[in-house]
Amino acid sequence: MRWKEVEPPSIGKRRQNSLSSNSHGKANTHASVSVLICFSHLRWRFVYQRPQHIMSRFAATHHVVFFEEAVPTDAAEPWLEKRQEEGVQVLVPHLPDSYQGEQAISAQRRLLDAFLEDIAASDIIAWYYTPMSLPYSDHLTPRLTVYDCMDELSAFRGAPPSLVEQERRLIERADLIFTGGVSLFEAKRQLHPNVHPFPSSVDIAHFGAARTPQAEPEDQAHLPHPRLGFFGVIDERLDIELLLAAATQRPEWQFILVGPVVKIDPETLPKLPNIHYLGSKSYAELPQYLASWDVALMPFALNESTRFISPTKTPEYLAGGRPVVSTPITDVIRTYGDSGVVKIAQTPAEFVSAIEEALEDAQQQDRVWQLADAALSDMSWDTTWKLMEEKMRCVV
């Protein structure tokens, strides 16, 4: 086993800080704070979302370790990549291609144990985003185990067959369970006595920048209006047929999709002159794209993978001052259905009609912003983080 230090590349305007001084301005030393180990299926440098928002804030009070899923390596032996992001220590196990099954689990366990011994960790909080990390971490004896169930991962395409059983084990071990929305809370509350819903929140200041003039991104600048935009992961949750139908019915509208394509073949995505796939962008860049969209879209398919979602992009769009058109996702309806600034539509005809109404609403900017602000009242990741800490203190 060996260590390898890897320095992170520049990530534009996003905050970066050393382990000893984090983005929230508080000191972070091993001697005075506990170690919070976050096991995540999402990589820190993937789309910036719930894990990054929450863990970067916990770095104000804990030594936070973000342990990612293993990646293959050509090296002859396993090694652990270490780097720092926003006050968080990110660890990535690298395993030889030949390591599978129990051999891979044992290697990750040894890398984890060696790291914890190296930092002399004695007071551990285990935080899970994925139950699939349990096989190599179930020997730990944390004083608190938290399962932040942000999605129903078993419903996603490509989910490991063992995920359901591993989640059952994790729920049995957990002291505290958070869910990414009310629908997930309703699904999990019968399984554990200490479950609490924490729907997706928003960094209002960050996305609020879209309400002021922004430098136009080059790959979007040439597109005419009206512009209808989506940012996020493009996967099986996207309603491809709905997007194709709407773009076909309104060829003068420009449909802009920002984000990585994962778990689906890019060739299956609809290709029309007015549909534009701009690829992945950094978290810092998103307000620049959002600033010149006329309407923000959430064209989610209605299937098992979207049954329990509480999309983070809803409050992000609203913080940017854009009217929103969404398919009837349960948690979107519950939270924003009566907001007056989020329109719900299901069929292609309804979706096109809702966009037309939203385009009319967008002409009354002050009213849209007022409704959006009302919908976002008291909503922030800082509040979410503080409330989570309160729940944790009640357990320990």
Compute the 3-state secondary structure of the chain and give helix, strand, coil in percent, each to the nearest 5: 35, 20, 40
pLDDT at 5: 45
pTM (two decimals)? 0.85
Over the stretch 325-362, which tens digit does the pLDDT of each residue have? 999 999 999 999 999 999 999 999 999 999 999 999 99
pLDDT at 231: 98
Which range is least confidently modeled, 112-121, 200-209, 314-323, 325-334? Answer: 112-121
Tokens of 370: 């007022």
Q: What are the start-end ranges of the H helices in the chain?
A: 50-58, 101-118, 163-173, 182-188, 204-208, 218-221, 240-249, 286-290, 313-319, 330-336, 348-362, 365-375, 381-395
Contact 315, 202 (CB under 8 A): yes
* Domains of the chain by start residue, with CATH: 2-201+380-395 (3.40.50.2000), 204-375 (3.40.50.2000)
Cβ within 8 Å of residue 109, ≥6 positions away: 136, 137, 139
Tokens of 190: 């019968």
Q: Per-residue pLDDT for 1 more than 70? A: no
Contact 2, 72 (CB under 8 A): no
Mean pLDDT (the chain, rounded): 90
Distance between CA atoms of 34 and 376, rounded to whole angstroms?
33
Contact 344, 327 (CB under 8 A): yes
pLDDT at 162: 85
pLDDT at 20: 32
